[in-house]
Structure 1
Amino acid sequence: MNTSSTRLVALFALLAIAVVLPFAFDPRGYAIRILCLALLFAAMAQAWNIVAGLANQVSLGHAAFFGIGAYTSTLLLIHFGLSPWLGMIAGAVLGGLAALLISLPTMRLRGHYFALATLAFGEVMRVIANSWGGLTGGPVGISVPFAPPDLAMLQFKETRPYYWLMLAALVLVTTIFLAIKRSRLGYRLRAIKENADAAEVIGVDTTRTKIVAAVISGMITACLGTLYAQFQFFFDPDTVFGVASVSVRMAMIAIVGGIGTAAGPILGAFFVIPLEEFANQIFSAQAAGLSQLVFGLLLIAVILIEPRGFMAIGPRLKRLLAREKADG
């Protein structure tokens, strides 16, 4: 069996294990909720990876698209009784438009200038949502109306169906990421990442390429915002538009796992989310903020040990073993 066949078999085996994994946990327990959040944030980090990982455009404003998706589907459900699936489509359209609007003036920026511009956009959306209380509920937040358990309404008695939905979303977003990475768009994005000026010289429209990637990423992130809203049933502007709670967490997950790789956001999410929850459970009772301090210190340690993320550990070990073998 060749290497590609082995990888394919391993991939299907992992997917099969992931599908049956919820049966090992209480269907309404805390552990399966953590798994759901890990899958959701892995998908979010994968969407962020399209722009940041392939084109090196580090966005800190993806919370804006996430919040747009959450509020759009919920408001359409409250006021018009529309299925969250239709709300998800509407949220994706609005998320894509928002990504286009913010990309037009900012995609010519690079490095920390681009990051700060997107950060400002995310904060503006949070302030608007907090101020426009008549529509969004303001700081009080908004609740998703309860409906009889039904796939069409994205509501279920147990947590397991949400898990499978999050898993399907992660598989779909990862497939999109890989398709883009192997397409002409992906080659152009990677050319921009290596050297934007050289890419321009060989005929790549760098601004247009980055805008297309940003719109795709924004639309996907908005769809995931709908899933989050239906899963949590309640949210407020600081939760879905929060820089630290959404944008920075997405970036951190991708960086810890391995930015620019398909497996990186998945590894990062299943490390960061359970670690964060574990720190909250253990240290939250000790002192306010202690859990976040411990969590931050552990993440700093991980990044210092391998700045390129978990995906770089395997090749690093192989080089060390090869060097020891050569020396021996």
Structure 2
Amino acid sequence: MEHARPSPLQWALLAAGLALLVAAPLGLSPQSYEVRVMCLVLLFATMGVAWNFLGGLANRISLGHAAFFGIGAYASTILQRSFDLSPWIGMVVGMVLAATFALLLSIPTFRLRGHYFALATLAAGEAMRVLANSWASLTEGPVGISVPFRPEGSLWMMQFSDFLPYYYLFLVAFVLVTALFWWVKVSALGYRLRAVKENEEAAEVVGVDTYRAKLIAILISAAITAAMGTFYAQFQFFFDPDTVFGVASISVRIALIAILGGVATVFGPLVGAAFIIPLEELANTWFGGEAAGLSAFAYGVVLIVIILINPRGLIALGRQAVRAARGGGRTAPA
């Protein structure tokens, strides 16, 4: 079972995988496009793990995580521009603001289930996008906002002269968030969230405080997503409301990464991000200039094919392939 204590072999595989991630960009130019894509993979993989706290463990499908992401991006950038505060301080402020917004959002939406909950969270994210576009005196509106650039680079200001330091910063964030997710998954909170996923009414009957469990999950998820919004702002140096509060560009992409990789799995978001982000980049490179709709169409077709083959995601698809290989290509009788 995935939530059991890892075996020595699994620990060895984890160590080998971590070593591979550490060494992955070393043979490339620190300013290369490939390292930039790898940074984005780690960034969105971390947000996929954050989404799994609520969407994976409790099966509350959120399409509004762009609200938390945008809050984190704008909070740190505005504080840096206005008071020259370090993005690390702004990141903490953004995490608190995003958690507060999640708390307010949970009051009306936790009574909803299924697609009603998903639509409510989507509406919340869209409301934040409209607010950011309208409040131009604070956010610069649809024109977008720039992060003050420091050519010398500084860890304290979260700015570097090339992509390699960002890669390792995002890698540390991914490892820490993944470790937190695994700890929650095997803890009492994880079992309560899985009870909510299986049957919320039955869980309440046996004494599980389902509202408290879901509230803790969404607060953790919102805070982590906001922190990734700060990382994104310092990585891109410019963004606008449609970019950081976008439903398709952020909310749907985060959910797809977690679902495609494998819902509630520890490494599913990394697998999903390693598939989706490079595929998006390739599709935009091949089709973006000639036909704007073809890149999204090709991207969607590939996703549909994978989900039809195995709805549990790429992790389950890989396990299925391993079992088939061990069985000499034979499938078990129905």
Q: TM-score interval w.r.t. the shorter chain?
A: over 0.9
Instruction: Render the CA deviation track for 1:76-115: whole Å, top value 9, x for unaligned.
Output: 0000111000011111100110110101111121101100
Q: CA RMSD in A?
A: 1.6
Classify the secondary structure of the residue corresponding to 1:146. coil
> How far 1:325 sits from its partner (Å)?
7.9
Tell me how far 1:285 sits from its aligned partner: 2.7
Residues 36-85 of structure 1 show CA distances to partners (whole Å, capped at 9, x for unaligned) of 00000000011001000000000000000000000000000000111000
Q: Indicate the residue corresponding to 2:106 in structure 1.
A: 103
> Of 162, 174, 177, which aligns to 1:173?
177
Of the three residues 229, 232, 235, the one matched with 1:228 is 232
Match of 2:330 in 1: 324
Other structure's SS at 1:180 match:
helix
Paired amino acid for 2:330: E
User: Is the contact between residue 108 and residue 207 of structure 1 (CA under 8 Å) also seen in structure 2?
Assistant: no
**Counterpart pick for 2:305 among 290, 301, 304:** 301
Aligned to 2:77: 74
Pair 1:20–1:115, CA change in 2 (3 A): same
Answer whether contact 1:77 1:87 (CA < 8 A) is retained. Answer: yes
Query: Per-residue CA shift, 1:145-172, capped at 9, x if unaligned?
Result: 0123110000111110000011111111
- Quickly say closer, same or farther: Cα 1:124–1:40, change in 2 above 3 A: same
For 1:120, the equivalent position in structure 2 comes to 123
| Structure 2: gaps of 5 or more residues | none
Correspondence for 1:28 among 10, 19, 31: 31
The whole-number CA distance in structure 2 between the counterparts of 1:276 and 1:324 is 34
Contact 1:177 1:262 in 2 (8 A): yes
Alignment of 1:1-328 (within 5 A): 4-147=7-150, 148-317=152-321, 320=324, 322=327, 324=330
Counterpart code for 1:146:
F
In structure 2, distance between residues paired with 1:88 and 1:219? 9
Taking the aligned partners of 1:22 and 1:319, their CA distance within structure 2 comes to 32
Tell me the distance in 2 between the aligned counterparts of 1:324 and 1:37.
38
What is the identity, as a one-letter code, of the residue corresponding to 1:12?
Answer: A
Identity %: 59
**Residue aligned with 2:265, SS:** coil
Distance 2:6 2:332 in 1: 25
State the distance in 2 between where 1:214 and 1:326 align. Answer: 40
Q: Which amino acid aligns with 2:312?
A: R
* CA 1:191–1:325: 2 relative to 1, 3 Å: closer
2:6 and 2:205 map into 1 onto residues whose CA distance is 37
C-alpha distance in 2, partners of 1:260/1:98?
Answer: 24
Q: 1:318 to 1:119 in 2, by over 3 A?
A: same
Q: 1:94 corresponds to which letter in structure 2?
A: L
- Normalising by structure 2, what TM-score? 0.94
- Does the 8 A contact of 1:34 with 1:273 survive in 2? yes
Q: TM-score normalized by structure 1? A: 0.96
Q: How far did residue 326 of structure 1 move?
A: 7.2
How far, CA to CA, are the matches of 2:241 and 2:223 in structure 1?
Answer: 19
Shift of 1:319: 5.3
- In structure 2, relative to structure 1, the CA distance for the partners of 1:109 and 1:292 (3 Å cut) is same
Task: Give deviations 1:261-288, integer Å, cap 9, x for gaps.
Answer: 1111110000000011011111123312
Q: In 1, Cα distance between the equivalents of 2:79 and 2:30? A: 29
What secondary structure, in the 3-state scheme, does the structure 1 residue paired with 2:25 have? helix
* 2:184 aligned counterpart, secondary structure: helix
- What's the CA shift for 1:20? 2.0
One-letter identity of the residue aligned with 2:202: A
Greater mean deviation of Cα atoms: 13-22 or 175-184? 13-22
Structure with the bigger percentage of helix: 1
- For 1:23, what is the secondary structure of its paired residue? coil
For the residues of structure 2 that align with 1:287 and 1:104, how far apart are their CA atoms? 43
Q: Which runs of 5+ in 1 are unaligned?
A: none
